[in-house]
Structure 1
Amino acid sequence: MSEQRPFRPEDDSFHFDVMDDDWWATETAWFSFHHPERKLGGWFYSMFRPNIGIVSGGAWIWDETAHLPWEVPFSSNYTALPIPKDQDLTDIKLPTGVSMRMLEPCTSYALGYDDNRRGLFSADLRFDAVMPPEPLTAAGSTFGSAHHYDQFGRVHGEIVLHGERIAIDCLGMRDRTWGRRPENRPRQAGYITGMADPDTGFLAVTNSGEERDEAAYGFLRRDGRTVPLASGWRTGERDAATGVSTSVEMHLTDQEGRELVANGEAVSRIIINRHTFIDINSLIRWDCGGDGIAWGEEQDMWPMHRFEKMMRAKRG
């Protein structure tokens, strides 16, 4: 595991100058948002491979009407467009349609999307952090040796979806990573988030198990204090016909002994095909007991051959 350090202002910029010439050297920037009443979720995701000069990713918007990427309200997933020259990640407009501008180091970012005048989707949003970026420190996480930082924040502004203006004001998540990320790397894992208010939430990254999935990394945020997980597990129910999650149960304990039990209902989802694996990404409404109602996501990540095996077994 690479030594992790606090996220610094210079980390808002690209890290291309500290990467070696490995083909799989990769840097990513991801932001999520949602509209609970409409059961609508959204992503901006950008993945850069500087040694081959390409950026991939784009934007996704989904709701309860569909979960396949060619049926959801908007899906734009580019694979190999040129990285713009003479632009840094602190202020960049990408050929994928995504734009990002740092407003306050490590804290606030202007986010936009332009679908090249097709009139299907555009966005003008702002992310304001409610906590410092939390570094990944667990060697057993699916993210391996990459530098990885997670951060909750308030996402607010407006999107225009098929001509309709929709106000966004939610608690979302962003992450930043840089390091080696080959396409055959992903194993079965989960990335689960939930936030009830700016001072209350959780993140858990889980590895798959026979009866339940064990937490490899994450944190609890309670009373405005963020404490890494000591242990935890995830289980849930799946739709018999499609294999997607319908409910999720989380049991988490942090390093100070604080506990959280959260029961989640998947209210909408999208399946994103990401080279050798799929990401079944669900918008989740969480009942966190005394911590209240939270909203977040379950990224249910499967290597394709494992998901195929599960579904073939279900079909007999």
Structure 2
Amino acid sequence: MSQHLIFTAEDDFYHKLSDDPYETETNWWSFNIPERKMGGWIHNQYYPNRKTCTWRVFVWDDRGMSPTDLAYYRKVDEAPMSGDPDLTDISFPGGGYSLKMLEPGMKYQLGYSDPARGFAMDFVHTGVHRPHRFEPGEPPFMQTPHFDQLGHVEGTLRLHGETIAIDGVGVRDRTWGPRGGPYQKSRKKHPADAQRVKHPGGPLWRQIERERGRGRIEYIYGHSEDFQTGFLGFVRMQDADASGWAPMNTGWLLKDGVFQPLDKTRSRMLNFRDPVGGWNSHMLVDLADTTGRTMEAEGISLSRLRDGGMYQLMRWEFDGKVGWGEDQDVWIGAGHFPRMLDALRGAR
């Protein structure tokens, strides 16, 4: 890891970055319970110059996929944040979750309770490595600071009167930079859809999926429960070839407990979509890092949430091991996913 890209204890606090009303600072935490096909998120966006935050807590399994029929879902928009909030020990307003730093950059306790729904969670995220910024200049974070940190998540979930153990793989992230407003309208413009595709050809649904200037983001990760093997990275669907193989960048390969950056010239993903729902049902991933190590991974979708994109619990196999993680399949343009799905479902 390059020393100048490693985050410090100061990054556990909130920052004063600019006077932009769309300035945003996030914290995100994920966990999964594979034997129940459950995935879970805790997420907050703080707008320091508006003194508000938007937070979400949700858990999904294979019995529902929209916010109205998930195992649990709650979102509070633009809750007022008073005073000078301290991210190292905070309870977010509007009945939000609590977050407490136990060890700078490495260990955190999170808690949340919704008595009216009989729902609660309490867990500790312990980092497997120091938080480390991805090299700037690579999409989707060209300039805005961002890191992902693999962690061991241990605790409990209270759901429908049952206490369920949490003990496994989780990832957290932090991002700084403007969101929403004029930034949502800054995507590239093209005179015609035909000019949006870098490599024409192949199935129509794949061609629609890789249209450029749509704001598509694909993010996948999977790690073994011994934290010795796995990967994480962003997929450049806009640069996929006609057969569907899309290059990966901005991520890591983990082998024998050692992290190395992905080699973006040799790392790629091929997805296969469910012909009815349109989610990624199956994936093949070829990985290589900057030291020459390689790995092949195969992923299968077990459960999912549809909320401005498709977020899925994935079961992975790599290097003779089973791992767990997510596929975050984000479609920003309102009409982009429906057009792809129409082509996927087409009978004529």
Distance of 1:242 and 1:4 partners within structure 2: 44
Distance of 2:142 and 2:20 partners within structure 1: 16
Task: Tell me by how many angstroms 1:189 deviates.
Answer: 1.8
Letter in 1 for 2:314: I
Root mean square deviation, CA, Å: 1.7
Which residue in the other structure is 1:98 paired with?
97
Unaligned 5+ runs, structure 1: 273-277
Which residue in the other structure is 1:302 paired with?
331
Cα deviations by residue, 1:122-165 (Å, 9 ceiling, x for unpaired): 11110111111131115232233211011011100111112211
Task: Tell me by how many angstroms 1:52 deviates.
Answer: 1.3
Higher percent of residues as helix: 2
Distance of 1:271 and 1:62 partners within structure 2: 10
Task: Tell me by how many angstroms 1:25 deviates.
Answer: 0.7
Higher percent of residues as strand: 1
Task: Tell me by how many angstroms 1:114 deviates.
Answer: 2.0
Which residue in the other structure is 1:5 paired with?
5
TM-score (normalised: structure 1): 0.92
Which residue in the other structure is 1:284 paired with?
314
Query: Aligned runs of 1:1-316 on 2, under 5 Å?
Result: 5-15=5-15, 17=16, 19-96=17-94, 97-115=96-114, 117-182=115-180, 184=184, 187-196=215-224, 197-208=226-237, 209-210=240-241, 211-231=244-264, 232-272=267-307, 278-290=308-320, 292-303=321-332, 304-316=334-346
TM-score (normalised: structure 2): 0.84
Distance of 1:195 and 1:266 partners within structure 2: 15
Letter in 1 for 2:325: G
Corresponding pairs, count = 305
Moved over 6 A (4+): none
Distance of 1:154 and 1:94 partners within structure 2: 23
Distance of 1:25 and 1:139 partners within structure 2: 20
Cα deviations by residue, 1:244-287 (Å, 9 ceiling, x for unpaired): 11111111110001111110010011112xxxxx2211100001
Bigger Rg, which one? 2
**Contact 1:192-1:298 within 8 A present in 2 as well:** yes
Which residue in the other structure is 1:275 paired with?
none
Q: CA distance change for structure 1 residues 25 and 281 in 2, over 3 Å: closer, same or farther?
A: same
Distance of 1:144 and 1:181 partners within structure 2: 14
Name the SS of the counterpart of 2:11 in structure 1.
Answer: helix
Distance of 2:74 and 2:105 partners within structure 1: 27
**Contact 1:84-1:94 within 8 A present in 2 as well:** no
Distance of 2:101 and 2:82 partners within structure 1: 17
**Contact 2:215-2:331 within 8 A present in 1 as well:** yes
Aligned sequence identity (%): 36
**Contact 1:23-1:51 within 8 A present in 2 as well:** yes
Which residue in the other structure is 2:197 paired with?
none
Unaligned 5+ runs, structure 2: 187-213
Task: Tell me by how many angstroms 1:181 deviates.
Answer: 2.3
Q: CA distance change for structure 1 residues 78 and 212 in 2, over 3 Å: closer, same or farther?
A: farther
Q: CA distance change for structure 1 residues 144 and 70 in 2, over 3 Å: closer, same or farther?
A: farther
